[in-house]
Amino acid sequence: MENNQSSVTSLMTAFGRAYHFLNDTPKIFEDSVAKDLITDLEYTDISTNLIKAVHLLNSDIASKYQHQPEELIKWFTQVQLSPTTLSRSAYCENVLLHELTLGTEQYVILGAGLDTFCFRHPELHGQLEIFEVDHPATQQFKKTRLENANYMIPNNLHFVSMDFTQGFDMQSLLDNGFNKEKKTFFSLLGVSYYLTKGELAELFEKLLSIVPPGSSIVFDYGDEGLFEEKGLYNRVQSMVQIAAMNGEPMKSCFAYDEIEKLLEDSGLLIYEHLSPTSINKQYFQNRKDYLTAFETIHFLHAVKKY
């Protein structure tokens, strides 16, 4: 990973959240902070690049809206960029807020990027310890953006620098105040695709091995059609190709039985599974825009066995 690669990815995700908050109705996920972490110039530059991307991905749409740049930005954002990131964040945070009522005291965000949960929920500062795990360059980038936007880092937010694609270092988490005796909730969003099946199994085992039973994790994964399905407007195929072009090729996909066994071998049971059809029904039903669930992406909530 190049030093600026994770920053670019984080910016694109933040742009999608900001665009949704500013422009889309009804809201799938409300991130009122994301725009504060992007400069006006970056927002403009990303918008310009999205327009160029439409010309590469879909010449028919590019021609149809050639004199409507805002429609081109909307098309790319709603079709390609945002559907999965918005819905998986909404699902993950809904699960987390429910887990808090069941005794969860720690939240570990793996691959946190420019996540804003802590700043959108100041009411939890005395109730929940939050650990953001990410590449050192991304974390420094985020700290700078928070400072520039005049956000104070609360004492319940802990930055844990780690490139966990090279192996998860549990000791780094412990050194930053993580308490292995407390019930913990983990999120692993937009990461599983870039790990081999063996790496993902090892990560699950390390994450959940030292925390109490009832601790849990939410993650997304691609099904066995990930590398074959083209998707609406060829967006699934484009997602895989764009990842490879950016030097971060997607490595794994799973049949449901396969992911179930991988989790069981790590001491986890599936509590809830959302298929693309379920995601579409829960988050995208009756919309009048382009937003729909990606065809090959699933969400899963798994719990450590008692």
pLDDT of residue 165: 66
Same domain, 10 and 25: yes
- Where residue 1 falls among pLDDT bands split at 50, 70, 90? very low
Same domain, 178 and 67: no
Same domain, 210 and 279: yes
Picking from 81, 108, 128, the residue at the C-terminal end of a domain is 81
Picking from 26, 53, 81, the residue at the C-terminal end of a domain is 81
- Helix axes 83-100 and 5-23, enclosed angle (nearest 10): 80
Picking from 35, 62, 81, the residue at the C-terminal end of a domain is 81
- Where residue 123 falls among pLDDT bands split at 50, 70, 90? very high
Same domain, 14 and 63: yes
Provide the number of structural domains found in the chain. 2
Domain that includes residue 212, residue range: 83-304
279, pLDDT greater than 60: yes
* Separation CA 13–CA 142 (nearest Å): 13
Look up the pTM and report it.
Answer: 0.96
- E-strand ranges in the chain read 106-110, 129-134, 157-161, 184-188, 216-222, 268-274, 297-304
Same domain, 68 and 125: no
**By mean pLDDT, which of 97-111, 145-159, 176-190, 238-252 is the weakest?**
238-252
Pairing of the two strands 297-304 and 268-274: antiparallel
Q: Is the dihedral of CA 237, 287, 17, 220 positive or negative?
A: negative
Residue 31: strand, helix, or coil: coil
Same domain, 110 and 240: yes
Same domain, 241 and 172: yes
Q: Residue 17 corresponds to which tokens in the numbers above? A: 């959240």
If one counts every other C-beta atom within 10 angstroms of the C-beta of residue 68, the result is 11
Same domain, 47 and 195: no
